[in-house]
Amino acid sequence: MSMATVSIRQLVLGLLAQEPMSGYDIRRYLKSLNWLVGSPSFGSLYPTLRALLQDGLVTVDIVLRSDRPACKIYQVTQEGERALQELLDKPAAADPSLETFVKRLVLAANLSPSRLVADLEERRAQVSAYCDSLDRIAASLDGQNEPERRLAIDFGLAMARAETAWIDEALGRLSQQTAMESRTRSGGSAYAERRASRTPGDSAKNTPRRRT
Amino acid sequence: MSMATVSIRQLVLGLLAQEPMSGYDIRRYLKSLNWLVGSPSFGSLYPTLRALLQDGLVTVDIVLRSDRPACKIYQVTQEGERALQELLDKPAAADPSLETFVKRLVLAANLSPSRLVADLEERRAQVSAYCDSLDRIAASLDGQNEPERRLAIDFGLAMARAETAWIDEALGRLSQQTAMESRTRSGGSAYAERRASRTPGDSAKNTPRRRT
DNA sequence: ACACTCATGTAAGCTGTTACATGATTAA
DNA sequence: TTAATCATGTAACAGCTTACATGAGTGT
């Protein structure tokens, strides 16, 4: 049933897993990536956070500050982590849209290295196939002199080629990196380190702490 | 009020202006461009066509064929043309999303040459600015060794650069092309030719013609 | 007889936006 | 005191998808 489209809920959960934040922070962060992923409005962001809270996937910390208004810092629970991994581990694609791919890239820090590589390889194959199909369309348009009709196709081809090139480079970097890591045991995967340093249930959740 | 986002309605109207088609045809065409623009479902496509018809922006021709089911070929009216031009001539951007830009590219054949150039230049400026902002984020991330956090930024940069490069090339081609046209009066802009060869109100609209 | 593509349509529902409302804090 | 940024929230609505329903023609 549920397709691999990354919803706001999943995106928010993933971002919170990378770093505890407030709704406002999430919005600001996504806005800074602007063109990559459309940042959700508060009208969907805040209800999403409430839902995550009610489902026990996150907890809140109300932080009072003297200099500016109080804010609610959300933090994922163990259950939230589990739910996130379940989402990210599944097939990944089936939805060949750029949006979904980019959103998963934004959540790359939450992906296991193998899953990340698999994502990139899947995407490479999809884009490559897409490139071929656009080539065929372009060829069929070769006869008629209608430059405007070709523009979109041309653009698609250029972007698709740029994307495959980038993916190849990224895959190269990743394999090189993991090779380095297997030799020297330092400066390695943030994923592995995060996994290792998890200390769940350490602090008193839901207890507002004050910095006055 | 109305933002420059290209809705299904506008997209459909633009495609019909390029060439009379049925709803099924539109779907197939957009699906062939797949990755570029997400093709709308029939659940939104057919109601859109009905609305366009009721608003007098298009007319139907029911075409009966012996080999396969009948289909409804939609065709834009003069009023539809006018409405389309009004939409496409306005500011264009304000919505810096890739989606909107690509949709307008798909409708490039409906744009006046000057409007098309303006679109490309606007987009170039936006993407260039976006590139700078991503560069700044990348620079701020230079200290910490978290390759996963950089992935999305990196990807954004690569795509943005590819886009500016493509736009530059496209602008070059366009200026070269119009220069050619101003000298020789042939093989020129499809836009001008279409404008010239319009013969509105020629055939009996709404009269089902049969090919048995 | 069955499945498949072509072709059109409707209704229910999910998802997200717009517009509004609130309030604290800082700076003009 | 007025405007601006920070911060959270709600309700109404728009837009689109999913799932369903229908039916003609084609091939097995």
pLDDT confidence of residue B192 = 59
Q: How many CB pairs under 8 A join A and B?
A: 124
The spacing between the Cα labelled CA in B64 and the C1' in C1, in angstroms, equals 27
Question: What residue of A is the nearest CA neighbor of B98?
Answer: A35
Token pair for A96 = 């060949």
Closest nucleotide over all strands to B68 (CA to C1'): D25
pLDDT of residue B206: 37
Q: What is the pLDDT of residue A19?
A: 95
Show residues of chain A in contact with B18, CB under 8 Å.
149
What pLDDT does B101 receive? Answer: 92
DSSP code at position A112? -
A205: three-class secondary structure by DSSP = coil
Which of A5, A103, A151 to mutate against chain B (most B CBs within 10 Å)? A151
Average confidence (pLDDT) per 10 residues, chain A, 212 residues:
70 97 96 86 97 96 94 97 89 76 94 92 93 90 83 95 97 85 60 56 36 30
Paired tokens of B51: 């609305």
d(CA B107, CA B100): 11
State the pLDDT at residue A79.
Answer: 96
Neighbours of A92 (CB within 10 A): 20
A interface test, pick of B21, B30, B36 with most A CB neighbours within 10 Å? B36
A166 touches B at CB < 8 Å: yes
Q: What pLDDT score does A208 carry?
A: 35
A33 to chain B, any CB pair closer than 8 A? The answer is yes
Q: Terminal CA-to-CA distance of chain B, rounded, Å? A: 49
Q: Please tell me which of the candidates A130, A155, A187 has its beta carbon nearest to residue B145.
A: A187
Task: List the single residue in B98, B152, B190 with the smallest CB-CB distance to A105.
Answer: B152
Per 3-state DSSP, chain A is made up of helix, strand and coil in percentages (nearest 5) of 60, 10, 30
pLDDT recorded at residue A93: 58
Radius of gyration of chain A (CA): 21
Minimum-distance CB partner of A130 among B34, B97, B177? B34
CB contact under 8 A, B152 and A106: yes
Q: Which residues of chain B have pLDDT under 50?
A: 1-3, 199-212
pLDDT of residue B40: 94
Residue A89, pLDDT score: 84
Q: Output the pLDDT for position A147.
A: 84
Chain A interface includes B17 (CB < 8 A) = no
Stated pTM of the model = 0.86
Does B29 contact A at CB distance below 8 Å? no
| B 69-98: CB within 7 Å of strand D | 69
Could you give the angle at which helices B98-106 and B113-140 cross, rounded to 10 degrees?
160
Structure letter (DSSP) for residue A17:
H
* Dihedral sign computed on CA atoms, order B81, B87, B90, B94: negative
